[in-house]
Amino acid sequence: MTIYQASEQRYDSMVYNRCGRSGLKLPAVSLGMWHNFGDVDTLSNAKAMIHRSFDLGITHFDLANNYGPSAGSAEETFGKILKSDLAAYRDELIVSTKAGYYMWPGPYGEWGSKKYLISSLDQSLKRMGLDYVDIFYSHRPDPNTPMEETMGTLDQIVRQGKALYVGISNYTAEQTKQAIEILKSLGTPLLIHQATYSMFNRWVEDGLLDELEAGGAGCIAFSPLAQGMLTNRYLNGIPVDSRAASSNSPFLKENDITEEKLLKIRLLNELAESRGQTLAQLALAWVLRKERVASVLIGASKVSQIEDNVGVLNRLKLEPEELEQIEAILR
C-alpha cells in the first residue's frame, strides 16, 4: 500500500486571499464535498480528488452535517481520508462544516437552536475524528429562533474550542447585518458568509457584499459555475447524462436551460477561448474579481475537473473591456 505524501510544490501556484479583516487566508479555489463524497460513492475516487486538491494547494475542504448522500457520510468519508492520509497535515488544512438543515427526527433535528447546533457539531466532530473545525457555519437562518440565540451559540462554540471561526450561509443582507452586529458585541467576529454567486445568480451584489465589507467579513461563493451551466457541458444542448436531464435533480432542471441561456453560454465560451481559458475558468475568474470574495467553492466528480478549475490561476485578471463584454452578454 502506497503511503500518501503531499507534493512539495503544493504552495507554488495557489493564490491565497485574506478573508475579510481576519488573519485567515483561504485558497482562491476551495473544494466542496456536497456531492460525490457520500457512502454511495467510491472511496478511492474521493481519496484521489482530495489528494490532488491538496497537491494543487487547495487547503480548504468544505462540508456540512447533511452532505452525502446519505446525510453525514461525506464527513465520515473525509474523516477516513484524514486519518489514513492527511493527519500529518492537519495544521495546513482548513476544515469547515455546517448545521441548519434536517438531520434527525423531532423538534431538535434542524434549524438554529442552541440544542441543535451544539449537538450537530459534536456529531460532526465525531464523524471526522477531529477535536475542532476551523470554520463552523449556521447553514441557514431560523425564522423561529431569535438571532441572539443562534449567534450566541456560535460564540459559545468558539469559546469552547470546538471551532476557530464562525460563519453563516444563505442569510439575506439584512440578516447578515444583524448577525455581524450581534457577534461583534459578543467578541467573536463573523468571519465569512457562504453564498451562491455566479454570472447567472448575482444577488450578493445587491447589498450583501456591502454589508460584509462594512462588517469586515469575507465571502466564499458556492455554485460559481451555476451547477454546471457555466462549463462546456451545455454548449451543444442538454446531454442525456447531465444534472439538468436527470429527473432526480433537486435544483437544476431541464427547463432552466433555455435557448436564451444557451446563447449566453456559447458567447461566454467564445470569450473564454479568446483568453485561452475554458468557460469554467472564465466563470471562476469573474466571481473572484470581487475583492470581498476570498474563495470560490467548487464541486467535482473527478480529478480532471479539479485540475481544470484550478487552471483559473493561470489567468485571473479580467480587463475592463472584457468585463464590459461579459455584462453585454449577460444583459
**Contacting residues for 321 by C-beta, under 8 A, at least 6 apart:** none
**Contacting residues for 272 by C-beta, under 8 A, at least 6 apart:** 278, 279, 281, 282
Residue with cell 505524501: 5
Instruction: Quote the distance between the C-alpha of residue 35 and its chain's center.
Output: 12
Q: What is the pLDDT of residue 236?
A: 77
**What is d(CA 258, CA 223) in angstroms, rounded to the nearest whole number?**
19
How many CB atoms are closer than 10 A to CB 71?
17
For the chain (331 residues), the mean pLDDT of every run of 10, in chain order, is 93 98 98 97 98 98 98 98 98 98 98 98 98 98 98 98 98 98 98 98 98 98 96 77 55 73 96 98 98 97 97 97 98 92
* Entry pTM: 0.95
Closest CA to 20 of 176, 201, 254, 186: 176
For the domain with range 16-229+290-316, which CATH number is right: 3.40.50.300, 3.50.50.60, 3.40.1380.10, 3.20.20.100?
3.20.20.100
Q: What is the pLDDT of residue 235?
A: 84
Q: What is the pLDDT of residue 205?
A: 98
